[in-house]
Amino acid sequence: MKVVLTALDSKFIHSNLAVRYLKEYTKNLNYNCVIREFTVNDREDKILEELIYEEPDILAFSCYIWNIQMVKKLASLIRLVNPKIKILYGGPEVSYDSEIFLKENPGEYVICGEGEETYYEFIECQLKLGKSQEDICVNDILKKIKGLCFKMEDNISFNGHRELMNMNNVVFPYNEEDNLQNRIAYYEASRGCPFNCKYCLSSTTHGVRFLNLDRVKSEISFLIEKGVRLIKFVDRTFNCNAKFATEVWKFLMSLDTEATFHFEISADILTDEQIKLLELAPVGRIQFEVGVQTTNNQVLKNINRYVNFKDIKEKVEELERIRNIKQHLDLIAGLPGEDFYSFKKSFNDVYSIKPEEIQLGFLKLLKGSDMRLEAEKWGMLYSPYPPYEILSTRNISYRELLILKRIEEVLDKYYNSRKFNNILNYFLPKFETPFDFYEKLGTFFHDKGYLNRNISAADYYKVFVEFSEEILKEDSLSLKEIIKYDYLKFNKKKYLPEFLNRERNKGEERRIKELIEKEKIKVSTSYHAEKFFIDIELFINTGRVKERSHYVIFDLENIKEKFIDI
């Protein structure tokens, strides 16, 4: 018997944890199990061709909000091309309405919830049916498998939920055959979440289960030996057990590796001991994703989330002062009870921390979540199509959410890329709040049509000249000098786009070259000297604009520039 476990990832660099768990958990069973991994950007006809070419007896799909539409199309095509192939589904997108899903889509089976034990018994059952010479009632055997929903002729049966697994029985999903270079490796040291946020599927199960600490260390060491450069812990709140988190971080900090480890944490419960420990982390070793969602206490209460932004800010700012841990803070628009102006305050509150990244997300009303059940209570309209994104609520309109969408686009491009830092620092003081600036910039992008077409890397800088002239009514040489600095610094280029000024003085350039040759200025061979007419160093440090004719030496092999008066 041959089973093909199929993953449709959102990007090539991602790796699917679920299909690996299933294969490893059943490796002692006598069947041919193959993993095929694609992305949602691949052509459907090519995926279909490759899956049919495998000639499986059973084809299994791992289903999520980002791939379910493609999964349903592929399942329909597979049923047309080869009706003999049985289709099995699993994952959060089919676990909460499995009977309806099987009724509306081709396929025979859905695994609901944690899949390893159900899948093991399912494969055992299929192997037994394949070998048996007796007249066995298939229906009776399948009905014994907890966590399985199945279709037999026109009847659909659900066998009830399975108890959660003992974590000692969870297998390590990776093996020597996995090629993980240039891919993100996902890893879970625990399952479950201590919190009960209404928008999250983790609220559907209670309690947190942890792997043995020595096992975690051993398995992470294996991934590092495989050359993985980014390991993302998928634990919902990694630091909910302070002792466990501290020991894992100590171990990761002790390793001789260039790998980066990403964690979702609740910053407010970081301990003083952990802060002191993290001060010693090598730069780039650890990344944190911190879910703020909103700073409105009533809205937090509405979603069953009990945190205090003051505590989050205090801990995040402590880590920001250390400058060795990248922090990514999340906000969610469209939460129950939050209007446009409340969200504006939340945005400004988070922006005041100046983390490395701010993600402005939009509420998704996921199948199985309490939030979806309360949609009518809060006057929520949401898309009936995955990812079930909010369209409006009693408190925020569709048009207001569109404004926030535009802010999300420019925030991600300009703030999160870190390639426009000084340009942003030039503009922000000209607006009452950061939100006001990004709202104006997002609207400008929309009105110019830049959100609907690709523009060049240079044009992303040129936009600021247009924005200044049309919105602020300013034509500023200072702005162009700051744009020139950010462009050369963050793009590692020697040439300038046409809209930026370049004044050449061969005598001054010769003098710089002589200083370098005499080693009075130490640079690598990959350097570039550019003349500026405002004091760039002063602006970076203070935000003040002052005339100064000088050179900045950009060195491709050195992060720090040199500022030279000639």
Confidence of residue 526 (pLDDT cuts 50, 70, 90): confident
Q: Confirm whether 409 is domain-assigned.
A: no
- Same domain? For 385 and 295 the reply is yes
- Same domain? For 466 and 564 the reply is no
320 to each of 218, 279, 292, how far by Cα in Å?
Answer: 31, 10, 16
| Number of domains present in the structure of the chain | 4
DSSP letters spanning 220-251? HHHHHHTT-SEEEE--TTGGGSHHHHHHHHHH
Mean pLDDT of the region 471-489: 92
Confidence of residue 136 (pLDDT cuts 50, 70, 90): low
The SS3 assignment for 293 reads: strand
Last residue of a domain, one of 494, 520, 555: 494
The pTM of this model reads 0.93
- Same domain? For 345 and 198 the reply is yes
CATH of the domain at 329: 3.80.30.20
- Same domain? For 205 and 245 the reply is yes
- Same domain? For 185 and 152 the reply is no
Q: Confirm whether 19 is domain-assigned.
A: yes
Q: Confirm whether 61 is domain-assigned.
A: yes
- Same domain? For 205 and 335 the reply is yes
Token readout for 104 is 């509306």
Last residue of a domain, one of 443, 466, 494: 494
Q: At what angle do helices 434-448 and 340-351 cross, to 10 degrees?
A: 110
- Same domain? For 466 and 512 the reply is no
Give the structural domain span for 451: 414-494
- Same domain? For 467 and 379 the reply is no
Q: Confirm whether 402 is domain-assigned.
A: no
CA quadruple 408, 413, 415, 421: dihedral sign: negative
Is the per-residue pLDDT at 133 higher than 50? no
- Same domain? For 38 and 92 the reply is yes
Confidence of residue 1 (pLDDT cuts 50, 70, 90): very high
Q: Beta-carbon neighbour count of residue 348 at 10 Å?
A: 15
The strand pairing partners of 86, in sequence order, are: 58
Mean pLDDT of the chain: 94
- Same domain? For 458 and 547 the reply is no
- Same domain? For 139 and 204 the reply is no
Q: Confirm whether 403 is domain-assigned.
A: no
CA distance 522 to 536: 20
Quick check: bond before 106 cis, omega within 30? no
pLDDT digits (tens, 9 = 90+) for 337-346: 999 999 999 9
Q: Confirm whether 166 is domain-assigned.
A: no
- Same domain? For 480 and 517 the reply is no
Are the C-beta atoms of residues 226 and 200 closer than 8 Å to each other?
no
pLDDT digits (tens, 9 = 90+) for 300-338: 999 999 999 999 999 999 999 999 999 999 999 999 999
pLDDT digits (tens, 9 = 90+) for 248-271: 999 999 999 999 999 999 999 999
Q: Confirm whether 194 is domain-assigned.
A: yes
CA distance 230 to 128: 41
Last residue of a domain, one of 470, 494, 518: 494
Is the per-residue pLDDT at 134 higher than 60? no
Q: Confirm whether 133 is domain-assigned.
A: yes
Question: Residue 506's pLDDT is what?
Answer: 84
